[in-house]
Amino acid sequence: MSRSARTVFLALMLSLSAVAAPAYAAPPPTAPHRDPGNGPERNEVAATDPPMSVARAAAGENVAGDHSGYPRKTKLRVYPENTADKSIKLGLAPYHAIAPKLNALQARSDRISVEIAGQSGLGRDLYLVTLTAPESRSETRRQDAWRSLIENDPARAARDPFLRHGYKAPVWINNNIHGNEWEGTDGALRVIEKLATSNDPKTVELLKRNRFYFNVTANPDGRVAGTRQTSQGFDPNRDFVTASQPEVRAMRGIAIGKQPLMMLDEHGYVANTLIEPTTPPHGQNYDFDLYIKHGYANGLGMEQAVKALGRPETAKPEIPFRDYDPGSWDGWAPIYTAQYAMYHGAVSFTIEIPMRVNNADYETQPVAELQRRAVINTEVVEATIGSTLGYVDRNRGELIANQIEMFRRGTAGEAQREIPDGFVPGFGPEDRYRTEFPRAYVIPAGADQRSAVAASRLVDHLVANDVRVRQADRPFSLAGRRYPAGSYLVDMHQPKRGLANVMLEQGSDISAKVPVMYDISGWSHRLLWGASVDIVKQGRLDVRAHDVVAASPTGGVDAAPGRDLALKLVDATDVSAVNDLLNRGLALGRTDDGTIVVPASARPAAAEVADRYGVRFTEAHGTATPLSRKTIAAAVGADELKALRDMGFDVRPVSAAMLNAGFDWSRVDLLFVSSGLRYTDLTPAAKDALRAFLARGGVVTRGATGARFNTDAGLLEARPVAGWEDGNGVVSVVNGTGPVGAGALPDSFVYGPFWFTDLGSSVTVEQRYASGNPLVAGHWRTRDDGTGGPLEAAGQAAVVSGTTGLGGRAVLFGTEPLFRDHPKGLYSQVAKAVYWAASK
């Protein structure tokens, strides 16, 4: 439906949302100011308690299962004053001032509790603040039991009148996930102080009926440094489906442990303020009818609260569902905080406050102007939080029923509902995304499992995300296949089936459904994490099995004493084990097919790493060439740097400036180029040193930067062809028999895909895009001029290898095998490229 059609119904929706005055009343705004505005930034109880979910049991309920009652007083450690904290210039709270403020509030009030939800990459505490009326131990136990009942026995929860009237509605406010979008923290601190100290009767009553959870700053390292990313260079609001960062794992714990009915993720900056819900496409695994009714209504309520500030800069908030074209602000990917929280039962929102104070503005605007903008932004944060708390209090019963119904549908295995046009004002055919849930997924054990260690990692990841996994106690048959005991079963009749499915299904090709996409639109743990996973579409699950808290051990040595050992590189963990042995100074070998050979004399060390990493050694056969420890000089992104180091490689970041300053190539075996290095930026002396290295060392390149480096340096005879720059997703590939392609997965990942043509006689095709349309899931269109589409890429070389004109070896990737620490099943392909190219 068009923007204008959505707007026609605005008045009707406002009448639905404005049913009562909010219980939370923000202080009056200061005098309004005028600002030209900023463009959008792309970023986004019963007597017997039911059993605790496996994920909570495994995690020890570190922030959720403490039954000691409220308040819970924590004496927070105070950090030294840091005058370099970037928030100071804006007149906002520096990180070192947060703990003293929270300590003081805990001393003044019995409504506030502070717990440590985790630590950042640099070891800073992550503060989880709870605001609620005091509770005895027994009252807290009852609240926890009700929360568990909602997830574990939703049909029973729906019939429980005591739960309906007594359950405290949990709300989660997440702040400052992008470190240089500061004001979420400061607006939250205002609300926290008011709720903790106000004597207003409405506030007192509000806290008797609700629990409000505030993640005060989700990215304190970025807050201090003034960077969007974490200290490890990752965007945490793109990490939820993978959870590679400690800050994201802490937020995941909050989402699971607190099970919020509603959540806000406070961001910046979009002129006028942006308030979700999003444009299409909406995630196809959601029970979207249970989201959009309250998502739109509360969005409109927040809009009115922001407009009520009376500032010209906030006079026209933007609601993408109503105001934007499809795809420009989507709700598709589970990589974002808000979209991920929806799978745990939350009606969730991304809020983009209006006045830009970061990036170039931080450096060029006068301090007084920056602080003026920060004041406005803080008011907007407070207004959206206050409006949401009031909305939840007014609609508490329906929101509780909403969450119960989501979990009930999942447990019962019911189909998603068909949502009619006009279900909320403006809802139309373009908003309709659905999927068919299979009956189960099976992760086989034994000979049919491609990688036992990859299967173990996948199982542990599912459990960590509160997806229920069972392990078979005896052999069984499903859908005409026989599975051995020890195989894992993901029964899709479970409360959080949407999260299970969004990780395990292949996804959808949505290229024809929306013209653009905000970020990635394809991912699949089943296709990209390296484990064999079968789909059972329907039928009975008569399997004797037990709940999994952690995957079974997979490591071992299966060779007779005195025989050399072999390890095939089918997973990144295999590579980690090999590099561990190499780092001990052991002499290993490498066969023509890439198998690693460990001498019989190193059997004790092999047994130790088998136990540590879960890898399994078999008996070696054939001859092998020596393999030594590899050191990599890397001009790569943060995600690739992490992946290479996680595999145990010695990686030394480089740039053009470092090479021009005089870089010591003597201890380097391979150059990896994908970001931040252009051959044409090097001085003549640096080029000479590099060319001397390339005569003996190896090169691996990836993407546009890597392809250009190959061409400029005259390495392999291969003409790169760029696909559509925004093309992304899972692609089907055909592997060759060369040292890099042999044994790789039949699927890969692309973001801005490349392929290679006009190949020289010394170049080997390691991997091709599949024929037809290689896109399995994602968004990859043809440019307006007819170029760059997936059909043009079909059958073309995606990964090539060969000997360079300078004498060394090179491997060129047109795919994204290390993207955002996600496609873990592709990492071993990169490692094989490193070992081959660096072993001239």
Q: How many CB atoms lie within 10 A of CB 49?
A: 16
Q: How many CB atoms lie within 10 A of CB 444?
A: 22
Q: How many CB atoms lie within 10 A of CB 223?
A: 29
Interatomic CA distance for residues 251 and 122, integer angstroms:
16
| Radius of gyration from C-alpha coordinates of the chain | 28
What own/partner pairs with CB < 8 Å and gap ≥ 24 does 151-155 have?
151/53, 151/259, 151/345, 151/407, 151/495, 151/496, 152/50, 152/51, 152/52, 152/53, 152/495, 153/50, 154/404, 154/405, 154/407, 154/408, 154/411, 154/495, 155/408, 155/411, 155/412
3-state helix, strand, coil in the chain (%, to 5): 35, 20, 45
Report whether the peptide linkage leading into residue 340 is cis, meaning its omega lies within 30 degrees of zero.
no
| Distance between first and last Cα of the chain | 60
Active-site residue, from 352, 405, 717, 816 = 352
Q: Which helix (H) or strand (E) is 195 found in, with range?
A: helix 183-197
Interatomic CA distance for residues 721 and 171, integer angstroms:
49
Q: How many CB atoms lie within 10 A of CB 42?
A: 9
Quote the DSSP letter at residue 639.
H
Q: How many CB atoms lie within 10 A of CB 193?
A: 18
Provide the CB-side half-sphere exposure for 592 (13 A, CA): 4
If DSSP codes are grouped into helix, strand and coil, which group holds residue 801? strand
Strands (E), 269-346: 274-275, 279-282, 330-331
Q: How many CB atoms lie within 10 A of CB 9?
A: 17
If DSSP codes are grouped into helix, strand and coil, which group holds residue 526? helix
Q: How many CB atoms lie within 10 A of CB 178?
A: 26
> Would the CA dihedral through 279, 284, 285, 288 be positive or negative?
positive
Supply φ then ψ for residue 352, to 5 degrees: -115, 105
112-119 and 125-131 strand pairing? antiparallel
DSSP letters spanning 402-419: HHHHHHHHHHHTPPPPPP
Question: Would you tell me the crossing angle of helices 638-646 and 827-837 to the nearest 10 degrees?
Answer: 80
Interatomic CA distance for residues 86 and 84, integer angstroms:
6
> 37: left (phi > 0), else alpha (psi -120 to 50), else beta?
left
81 catalytic, yes or no? no
> 23: left (phi > 0), else alpha (psi -120 to 50), else beta?
alpha
Amino acid residing at 446? G
Q: Which residue has the tokens 């920060």?
A: 374
Token pair of 348 as six digits: 């969730």
Between vectors from CA 146 to CA 144 and to CA 150, what angle results, nearest 5°?
A: 120
Nearest to 559 by CA among 598, 590, 587: 598
Displacement of CA 422 from its chain's centroid (Å): 32
Interatomic CA distance for residues 273 and 183, integer angstroms:
13
Interatomic CA distance for residues 776 and 733, integer angstroms:
10
Quote the DSSP letter at residue 628.
-
DSSP letters spanning 481-504: EEE-TT-EEEES-STTHHHHHHHH
Catalytic residues: 352
